[in-house]
């Protein structure tokens, strides 16, 4: 596993990437954000909870700077074990990014329950926006359950094809009514598909391209938000129990 360039003293943060609509770019965002975090010096683990295993397949050649673990939540009964394991992993990684499946599932519920930040990628198409609205209902449930430890929830516009929609009314008009803050968008860039084929992150496969630039903007925005909430995260959290992590990252 590649070592981070510089050690980090920051407390661990869990970032879940989910949407009930398939193909909105969850895995693309989760993989590349995890790699941007790893390259910036955070010891980062990307957890794939999706039976489709997109993130695992992306990392199987061992060419991603982030560690990748195929770690699904088998069923509702296994959720407790999964959450305990995650607590252990938080002792070893500064950032854990969770790629969630596009279905209402124990993985989705567990991810929303444990995340410090939930990123909901969506295009601005009506179909995606409707699914995003449904996703946010599940997020609202998690918020209610968590009360004092509510996550930061952010909508991420993805796969944008028209340049002019940057910062103009298009994104805001479609996604603003969802009522959650918007992240800087990820444009459509075929280099993401090529990066998947090459088993590399966008910063290796197409360094300096628009996809890479957008991922770096996303990375900066999410890190700034996690930093700003540092007081919030300083609340006591349950300590991971002593033990050995079961999950063995690949790559
Ligand atoms: N910003 C983008 N530009 C171009 N293509 C993209 C972009 N984001 C994702 N894609 C492509 O869209 C397809 C779906 O992306 P991805 O697998 O990341 O979505 P997903 O939400 O994880 O899907 P699923 O719901 O099946 O898990 C892939 O072919 C991917 O390469
Ligand atoms: Mg996926």
Dihedral through CA 78, CA 84, CA 86, CA 91, nearest 10? Answer: -160
Quote the CA–CA distance of 36 and 65 in Å, as a whole number. 8
- Contact between 71 and 49 under an 8 Å Cβ cutoff? The reply is yes
193 in contact with ligand 1, CB cutoff 6 A? yes
* pLDDT tens-place string over residues 101-156: 999 999 999 999 999 999 999 999 899 999 999 999 999 999 999 988 899 999 99
For residues 166 and 223, the model is more confident at: 223
Q: Is the CB of 135 under 6 A from ligand 1?
A: no
* Range with lowest mean pLDDT among 5-19, 55-69, 95-109, 208-222: 5-19
56 ligand 1 Cβ < 6 A: no
Q: Is the CB of 233 under 6 A from ligand 1?
A: no
Measured in angstroms, how far is the CA atom of residue 3 from the centroid of ligand 2? 26
Percent share of the chain, pLDDT over 70: 84
Going by pLDDT thresholds of 50, 70 and 90, the confidence category of residue 8 is very low
Here the tokens at position 13 are 């943060």
pTM of the predicted protein model: 0.89
Q: Is residue 50 part of a domain?
A: yes
Any domain includes 77: yes
Say if 98 falls within a structural domain: yes
Query: Would you state the pLDDT for residue 147?
Result: 84
Note residues around ion ligand 2 (Cβ under 5 angstroms).
Answer: 26-27, 54
Angle, helix 210-228 to helix 26-39, in steps of 10 degrees = 70
Distant-in-sequence, close-in-space partners of 67: CB < 8 Å, separation ≥ 6 = 1, 38, 44, 45, 46, 93, 249, 250, 251
Mean pLDDT of the chain: 88
Sign of the CA dihedral with 28 first, then 152, 143, and 237 last: positive
Contact between residue 121 and residue 26 where contact means Cβ atoms under 8 Å apart: yes
The model's confidence at residue 228, banded by pLDDT at 50, 70 and 90, is confident
Q: Name which residue sits closest to atom 23 of ligand 1, judged by CA.
A: 23
- pLDDT tens readout for residues 48-57: 999 999 999 9
CATH of the domain at 148: 3.40.50.300
Number of domain units in the chain: 1
- Number of Cβ atoms within 10 Å of the Cβ of 6: 8
Please report whether residue 251 resides in a domain.
Answer: no
Range of the domain at 85: 13-227
Rounded to whole angstroms, the Cα distance separating 127 from 96 reads 29
Give the pLDDT confidence of 168-225 residue by residue, as tens digits.
557 888 898 899 999 999 999 999 999 999 999 999 999 999 999 999 999 999 999 9
158 lines ligand 1 (CB under 6 A): yes
SS (H, E, C) 94-111: CEEEEECCCCCCHHHHHH
Is residue 246 one of the residues assigned to a domain? Answer: no
Asked whether residue 184 is assigned to any structural domain, the reply reads: yes
């Amino acid at each position: 596993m590649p070592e981070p360039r510089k050690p980090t003293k920051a407390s661990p943060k869990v970032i879940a990437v989910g949407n009930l609509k398939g193909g909105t770019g969850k895995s693309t965002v989760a993989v590349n954000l995890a790699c941007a975090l790893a390259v910036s010096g955070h010891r980062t683990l990307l957890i794939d909870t999706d039976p489709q295993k997109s993130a695992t397949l992306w990392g199987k050649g061992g060419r991603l700077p982030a560690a990748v673990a195929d770690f699904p939540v088998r069923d509702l009964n296994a959720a407790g074990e999964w959450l305990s394991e995650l607590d252990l992993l938080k002792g070893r990684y500064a950032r854990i990014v969770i790629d969630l499946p596009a279905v209402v599932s124990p993985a989705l519920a567990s991810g929303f329950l444990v995340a410090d930040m939930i990123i909901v990628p969506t295009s601005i198409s009506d179909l995606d926006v409707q699914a995003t609205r449904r996703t946010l209902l599940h997020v609202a449930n998690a918020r209610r359950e968590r009360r004092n430890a509510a996550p930061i929830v952010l909508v991420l516009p993805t796969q944008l094809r028209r340049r002019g929609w940057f910062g103009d009314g298009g994104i805001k008009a479609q996604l603003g009514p969802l009522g959650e803050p918007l992240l800087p968008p990820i444009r459509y860039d075929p280099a993401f598909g090529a990066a998947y084929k090459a088993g590399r992150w966008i910063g290796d496969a197409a360094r300096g391209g628009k996809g890479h630039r957008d991922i770096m903007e996303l990375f900066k925005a999410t890190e700034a938000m996690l930093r700003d909430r540092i007081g919030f995260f300083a609340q006591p959290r349950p300590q991971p129990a002593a033990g050995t992590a079961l999950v063995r990252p690949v790559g």
